[in-house]
């Protein structure tokens, strides 16, 4: 229509859901990972108070709004806790292996990918519980069996884990779940590689705990229990997100 301003291509993509410019998000992620490295290395111990916002802004060379966004992310991940009138304190120390297995600059993206997965895959599991076919169940059981084998033989099992989750999206009967998940595949694989490497470096019980979560999801889908399938999937993905920072 004449005289109507057209939106600039890509303008929406340059802003977050909270209206933050993409550049600011990148700076916040950078600050987030620097603070995470300080805590993971032991430079700032559990229970310690972080420096003031003014001091940290100067140290990290970012504005205070950017720093606050980074601190907000760390609070959401349970790494720091804020006490009104007292500042921010370290609540838990991530395993140093996090910084070994995760590519530089990827940790913030991995954590946000988990948040998206919880929503997408939770609903996919909900639909898969009523729409799955016998062929879908055969695939899921095969991937689950392969994960069992990986645990027995001490293998990483990233491919089997990825295949199990992708098969649930496909069993939903809605191709857009699988498409949405595929669009995040690079970050998903990075996250799976990180969490399964961390689990593999722990006692075998941790890998078995992850498999118990998979078993709960599969059992709910087989039973056609939609609410349980959704809850089991969301709990599994959120637990995976939290396990990244279990020190």
pLDDT score of 136 more than 70: yes
Q: Does residue 72 register a pLDDT over 50?
A: yes
Using the predicted structure, report yes or no on whether residue 148 has a pLDDT greater than 50. yes
What mean pLDDT is predicted for residues 214-234? 98
Take residue 38 and report the two structure tokens written for it: 């300080």
The H or E element containing residue 19 is none
Is 70 exceeded by the pLDDT of residue 93?
Answer: yes
**Closest to 175 (Cα-Cα) out of 246, 105, 232, 124:** 124
Q: What is the mean pLDDT of residues 223-244?
A: 95
In eight-state DSSP terms, residue 48 is: P
Per-residue pLDDT at 153 exceeds 60: yes
- At 3, is the pLDDT very low, low, confident or very high (cuts 50, 70, 90)? very low
Report which secondary-structure segment, H or E, holds 145: helix 134-152
According to the model, what pLDDT value does residue 25 have? 57
Question: Contact at 8 Å (CB) between 44 and 94?
Answer: no
User: What's the CA angle centered on 112, arms 130 and 45, to 5 degrees?
Assistant: 130
C-alpha dihedral sign at 10, 13, 18, 24: negative
pLDDT at residue 18, rounded to an integer? 36
Rounded Cα distance, 91 and 115, in Å: 21
Q: Count CB neighbours of 210 within 10 A.
A: 21
pTM for the model stands at 0.77
Phi then psi dihedrals of residue 232, to 5 deg: -65, -40
pLDDT at 198: 85
Mean pLDDT of the region 61-66? 94
CA distances (Å), 35 to each of 54, 96, 113, 222, 234, in order? 14, 13, 20, 44, 28
Listing DSSP states for 28-93 in one string gives HHHHHHHHHHHHHTTSS-TTPBPPPHHHHHHHHT--HHHHHHHHHHHHHTTSEEEETTTEEEE---
Which H or E run contains 44?
A: none
Dihedral of alpha carbons 225, 229, 235, 239, sign: positive
Radius of gyration for the chain, computed over Cα atoms and rounded to the nearest angstrom: 20
Q: Residues 37-60: what's their mean pLDDT?
A: 91
Q: Mean per-residue pLDDT for 43-72?
A: 93
Neighbours of 126 (CB within 10 A): 22
Residue 130 reports pLDDT greater than 90: yes
């Amino acid at each position: 229509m004449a005289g109507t301003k057209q939106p600039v291509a890509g303008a929406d993509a340059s802003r977050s859901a909270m209206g933050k410019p993409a550049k600011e998000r990148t700076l916040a992620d950078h600050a987030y990972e620097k603070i995470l490295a300080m805590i993971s290395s032991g430079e700032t111990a559990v229970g310690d108070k972080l420096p003031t916002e003014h001091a940290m802004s100067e140290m990290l060379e970012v504005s205070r709004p950017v720093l606050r966004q980074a601190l907000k992310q760390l609070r959401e991940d349970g790494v720091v806790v804020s006490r009104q009138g007292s500042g921010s304190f370290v609540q838990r120390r991530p395993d140093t292996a996090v910084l070994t297995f995760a590519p530089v600059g990827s940790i913030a993206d991995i954590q946000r990918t988990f948040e998206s997965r919880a929503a997408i895959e939770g609903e996919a599991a909900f639909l898969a519980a009523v729409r799955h076919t016998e062929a879908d169940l055969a695939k899921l059981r095969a991937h689950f069996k392969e994960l069992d084998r990986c645990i027995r033989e001490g293998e990483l099992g990233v491919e089997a884990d990825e295949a199990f989750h992708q098969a649930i999206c496909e069993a939903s009967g809605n191709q857009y779940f699988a498409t949405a998940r595929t669009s995040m595949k690079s970050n998903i694989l990075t996250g799976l590689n990180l969490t399964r490497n961390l689990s593999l470096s722990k006692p075998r019980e941790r890998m078995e705990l992850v498999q118990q979560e998979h078993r709960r999801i599969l059992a709910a889908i087989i039973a056609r229990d939609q609410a349980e399938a959704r809850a089991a999937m969301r709990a599994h993905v959120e637990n995976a997100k939290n396990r990244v920072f279990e020190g």
